[in-house]
Amino acid sequence: MSPLHLLEIKNLTKHFGGLAAVDNISFQADEGEIIGIIGPNGAGKTTLFNLISGFLKPDSGTMKLRGENITGLEPHKIVNKGIARTFQVVRPFRHLPVIANVMVALRSPRGARKIEWLKTIERKAADLLEDVGLSEMMLEPAENMGHGTLKRLEMARALATEPDLLMLDEPFGGLNPLETDFLTKSLMRMHLDEPTRCILIVEHKLYALMKIVSRVVVLHQGEKIAEGTPEEIAQNDRVIEVYMGKGIQDA
Amino acid sequence: MVTTYIRRAYSSFVAHVFDIPARLLAFLLFLTLLFIPFAIQNTYYLRILILANVLAIFAVSWDFLVGRTGQISLGHAIFFGIGGYITALLSSSKFFGLPIFLTIPIAILAACIIALALGIPSLRVKGPYLALVTMSFPLILAALLKWYPLNHIFKGEFGIRGLPALVPRLDWMTIGQQRVGEYYVTLILLFAASVILYKIANSKIGLVFVSILDDELASKACGINVTKYKLMGFMISGLFGALAGCIQTHLLRFANPPMFALTLSFLPVIVTFLGGLGTIYGPIVGAYIYYILDSYVLRDWLPRFLKETVGVTLPPEFDFAKLLIFTLIVLILVIKLPRGIAKFTTDKLGDLEEARDLDERGPRIWKTYKKKEKTTSTGSEPTASS
C-alpha cells in the first residue's frame, strides 16, 4: 500500500451567502474503491462534486490527488490530472454526432496521451462507445438521443480521458429498471477491468447504489454525518434519522 | 497510360461531384463565378462582384467565429480596419513604400497578434456581453485615428490615400482588363480562404470549437482548455478578416476611418444570416445576394424601372428607404428561413438525394410492396389501413 491516498480532502468548506453548502468535510479515497456519497436533497453532494472537479472554488480546505495539491485549479487542468466527472443533468454536445462527443474528450492532453500508436482517435472513440453499448448509434446526432443514452454517452466521454478517479453525479437518475441494471453491470465490469480506478458516485437510488459500493459517505446539510461500509450505514441511527425522520424508532 | 489515368480521374470526379446534388450545385456556382467576367462587359457591375468577393471573405471569417466557436463578435470591423491600415502605412510611398505582396502578409499576422491581445481580456465575458465589448473596439480605434495629434500619420478623416493597387494597371491594359484581373485575384483569395476555414471547421480541432459552442462547461469537463481554443478561433477569424481589409484597401487604394464603422461590423451579420449561420459557404452566397440587391436592384434597376414604366423619379432620400427594405428582407428571412438561403437549399438537396437513394436501393422492396397491395386489393376495395 502506498502511503499516499489517491484523493485526500481536508476540511473542505464552501459557503453560498450565509449558507454553508459544504461544511468542513474531510475524507479519503484510495485506489480501487467504489465510494457512494449519499444524503437527502440539499445535503451538498453536488456542491462537493463541483468543488472536487474545480467548477467551484472552495472557501477553505485542501484537496490532494496523490499528495499533489489540486485546490483551486481550473477544471480542465483537474481533468488532465486524472479526475473526470459526469453531470447530474446531461450536457451532451447536441450539434455533434455521438462519436464526435467522445472525440472531443480525446482531443484533451490526457485523452490524447492515452491513444496508443497506430490507433486513430476515431477507433479509440468507437471502442469507448462499444464499452457502454452505443456502437449502433455512433453517427447519429446527439440531439436525437434519449436520456438514458445520453447518460451512457457522458460516461463514455468521462472515460475517454482514462481517469484515476471517476465521479458520477446521479448516474441512475431518470433511468428505467432495465437501464439501471445495465449500468450497474457495466460499472462492475469496469471495476474489474480497471481495478485501480476509484469511482465516486452521488446517488439517490440507494437500492442500486448499495449493491456496488464498498464504502459510503453520508452528508446532511453540508456536514459529513457518517462513513462506513453499506452494512454499517444501514444500521447507523443518525442516518436513519436523517432519511426517515425521528419518530421511526419510537413507532 | 495517360488516358486510363484521365478516365479514372474523370470517373472519380463524376462519382464525387455529379452524384451529390449539393456538390453539383456548388460546382456549377463555382463555374459560373469563374466565367462571369466573360459575360459582363460593364466594369461597374464587375466592380460590384469584386466587392462582393471581399465582403464574402470578411463574412466567412465572421461566420467561422460566431457559427463555429460561438463567440459573438459585433466588432469584426476592427480586424478589417487594422489589416487595411497596417498595409496602408507599410505600402504608402510617404512612409515605407514596401511592395504589397510583403505588406499584406505582415498586416495579416499583425492583426492575428492584435486579435490575441484583444481576445485575452474580452473572452472572459460571454454571450451578449462579449458582443458589446467587441463592438466597442473599432469605435475606440476609429476615434484614435481621428485624434488630431496623430493626424500627421493617419491623416484623420481624410485617410491614407494614393496606395498601390491590388492589380497594377500596366500600359497595355484597359480598365476593363484591370477589373477582370482584380476579379480573379479576389475570387482566388475567396476560394482559398473559404476552403481553409471549411477544412479547419470540419477538422478535429473544429469538433472542439463546436463543443465549446454547444456547452462550454461540458468542454471543460472533457479536459479542454476552453480559453486556448477560443483564442485560437479569435485569431484565425481575425486573420481572414484582416485579409479582407487588406484587399479592399488596395482595391480602393485608400484606408480611412469608415473602415471601422458600425455598418461594417453589421454587414457580415446580415450577409451570414442571409446565407446560413455556421455553414462557411453560406456567407459567400449571402454576400453575392446582398451586393446584387443593394447595388444592382435597388440602386440601378428599380429607379430605372419606376422611371420608365410609372414615370416616377425617386427622390434622393430613397437611400434611407433602401436600408429599411434591407432590414425588412433580413427580418422576413430570419423568421421564414432561420437556417439561411444556402443552408435551406442544401438541406432540400440532401432530402432529394435520400429519396433517390431509396429509389435505387429498393426496387425489390417496391415490387414486393406493390405485389402485396395487389393481392389485398383483388377481393374487396382497399382500405387505408391495408
- Rounded to 5°, the CA angle B273-B274-B278 comes to 45
Distance from CA of A56 to the nearest CA of B (A): 12
- Residues near A192 by beta carbon (within 8 Å), at least 6 away in sequence: none
- What pLDDT, on a 0 to 100 scale, did the predictor assign at position A118? 65
The pLDDT of B87-115, averaged and rounded, is 91
Q: Which helix (H) or strand (E) holds A73?
A: none
The confidence band for B62, taking pLDDT boundaries of 50, 70 and 90, is very high
Instruction: Flag whether pLDDT at B314 surpasses 80.
Output: no
CB contact under 8 A, B223 and A87: no
Instruction: Flag whether pLDDT at B236 surpasses 80.
Output: yes
Q: Which residue of A has its CA nearest to B278?
A: A95
Instruction: Flag whether pLDDT at B372 surpasses 60.
Output: no
Enter the pTM of the model: 0.85
Spatial distance between the Cα atoms of B118 and B50, rounded to a whole number of angstroms: 30
Distance from CA of A247 to the nearest CA of B (A): 43
CB contact under 8 A, B214 and A55: no
- What pLDDT, on a 0 to 100 scale, did the predictor assign at position A166? 93
> Which residue of B200, B213, B222 is the best one to mutate when testing the A interface, meaning the one whose CB has the most A CBs within 10 A?
B222
* B170 or B383, which is more confident: B170
Instruction: Flag whether pLDDT at A174 surpasses 90.
Output: no
Residue with the three cell numbers 472533457? B222
ipTM of the complex: 0.88
Residues of chain B contacting residue A159, judged by C-beta atoms under 8 Å apart: none
DSSP assignment of B297-356: IIIIIHHHHIIIII-PPPPTTHHHHHHHHHHHHHHHHHHH-TT-HHHHHHHHHHHHHHHH
Which of A94, A104, A121 minimises the CB distance to B222? A104
**Can you name the residues that pair with B161 across neighbouring β-strands?**
B254
Which of B210, B214, B223 minimises the CB distance to A161? B223
CB contact under 8 A, A93 and B225: no
* B156 or B205, which is more confident: B205
Residue type, A161: T
The confidence band for B273, taking pLDDT boundaries of 50, 70 and 90, is confident
CB contact under 8 A, A104 and B221: no
The confidence band for A251, taking pLDDT boundaries of 50, 70 and 90, is very low
